[in-house]
Amino acid sequence: MKFISTRSNEQATGAEAIVRGMAAGGGLFVPVQFPPVTAEEMDTMLAMDYPERVAFILGKYFDEYEKEGLLAALRAAYARFDGDDPAPLVRTDEGLYLLELFHGPTCAFKDMALAALPYLLEQGKKLAGVGEKLLVLTATSGDTGKAALEAFAGVSGVKVMVLYPEEGVSKMQKLQMCTQEGENVNVVAVRGNFDDCQSAAKKIFRSEKCREEIAKRGYLLTSANSVNIGRLLPQIAYYFSAYLDLVSSSQIRMGQSVDFAVPTGNFGNILAGYYAKRMGLPVGKLLCASNKNNVLTGFFQTGNYDAKRPFFRTMSPSMDILVSSNLERLIFETSGRDAALTAERMKSLAATGRYSVRAEELNMLKETFAADYTSEDDTVECIYEFFEEYGYPMDTHTGVAMSVAQRYLGKIKDDTMSERHPMVVLSTASPYKFPQDVLYALTGNDVKDSYKGVKRIHLLTAMKVPEPIKSVRYKPIRFKTAVSAEKAFDEIVKFLDA
């Protein structure tokens, strides 16, 4: 299958799109079409385990990759996850489920896709005839960085550079990144928020001068962010897997619609759900859940995207984002795949922080998406009350999604014209990644030390502390550099020259 840019007529093979990361001029690669999954194929997927389901979905898009090699790589990658099922579905109430996506090596949902990316890049280089080594540049709001570091640490022919907001991640997220082992990794704090990190990375990707400097050192620049289509498409699989698990456990019948509530920042996670629907998965509504940085809520309600607003640091830092990169892929679709119009809108976003979509596009979006946000107090209350009622502790991002989902379900219940579907809430991180905020939500107690929070949550909930959280405690801090966004490329050069 070919892939095209959201901003031009540029085309690439799947391997080329993965290796390059982004299209020329800042565009994002999207598939030329959404391959359908037939009813017969859905029945066949019921008997598959999770690696087989991922391999099946990816095979629909990356048909040049050898199927047996891809499946073997996925089996090896998901074998590192805790438990038998990398994406277990937990029933908490009638019609309400949690999809746990945090059982990987870094205890966050980014592991689900980054498990596949090293193989996709390694084989992609061979298929695309690329001989250079790879520099994987990643801007992170907390979870992608550690997942990328863990996935590529020690991989031959690859160096990984992570930019994170100095004060915009949790203490545990920072500790996980800054203690990362491996001679081929580097972590640099950026003075600013995630949007500053992301802007710096995008500027480097768009700059011919930067690419030339990197090429002089024998490296080709690519990305592990969800702007890379190879990072995005594996996420489609857990929507299919959750649905199939509902069918196989007799919670729903095949063909019945299911809603998904997704804590949303950079829009990659929920976009994968939209892609799943375009492939034929019976998705009812995709509920876009935001925290206090509710730029997406405003967009889905009015059709106006406005990033010129106050930025808030919240207890759900991976969602503290005002410029949601993957939304570009969605508005490309709703515009009728108008690359010129998409480029114009992205130019307006860069220049003014704003753009708008037409009324007919907004109506199209509302057919699939609903959007809402929750306050910090409401998130805390949701985490506390959910634990009190179900004995289930959740992290702060999942708390945002659950709070929004419960409000949405309440409205549906009161609206006799609306049909209620089963609701799956995507649980994107272990509570132990945000121990201080989770402990506060559960008990009202503040602690300054992350590991005191971990210990007290464990005593309160008896939830197993993941080994990746326990093991990082006594590791030495390796990375302490902090720079302005303008100096980020200088750090890349130093890293490559070291």
- Looking at domain 89-109+232-472, its CATH class is alpha beta
Mean pLDDT of the 292-298 span: 97
What CA–CA distance (Å, rounded) separates 396 from 437? 7
**Quick one: pLDDT band at residue 142, thresholds 50, 70, 90?**
confident
* Nearest by Cα to 146 from 100, 178, 188: 178
CA 436 to chain centre: 23
- Does the structure show a pLDDT above 70 at 199? yes
What CA–CA distance (Å, rounded) separates 147 from 192? 21
- H or E segment and range at residue 5: strand 2-5
Q: Residue 64 corresponds to which tokens in the numbers above?
A: 């040049």
**Quick one: pLDDT band at residue 414, thresholds 50, 70, 90?**
confident
Helix (H, G, I), strand (E, B) or coil at 123: helix
CA dihedral 276→277→278→279, nearest 10 degrees, is: 50
Mean pLDDT of the 378-389 span: 98
**Quick one: pLDDT band at residue 412, thresholds 50, 70, 90?**
confident
- Does the structure show a pLDDT above 70 at 419? yes
What CA–CA distance (Å, rounded) separates 383 from 378? 9
pTM exceeds cut of 0.85: yes
Give me the pLDDT at residue 416, please.
63
Listed in sequence order, the DSSP H helices in 207-326 are 208-216, 229-232, 236-248, 268-278, 295-302
Q: Tell me what the pLDDT averaged over the chain comes to.
A: 96
Q: Enumerate residues 6+ apart whose C-beta is below 8 A from 254.
A: 39, 42, 43, 247
**Quick one: pLDDT band at residue 420, thresholds 50, 70, 90?**
confident
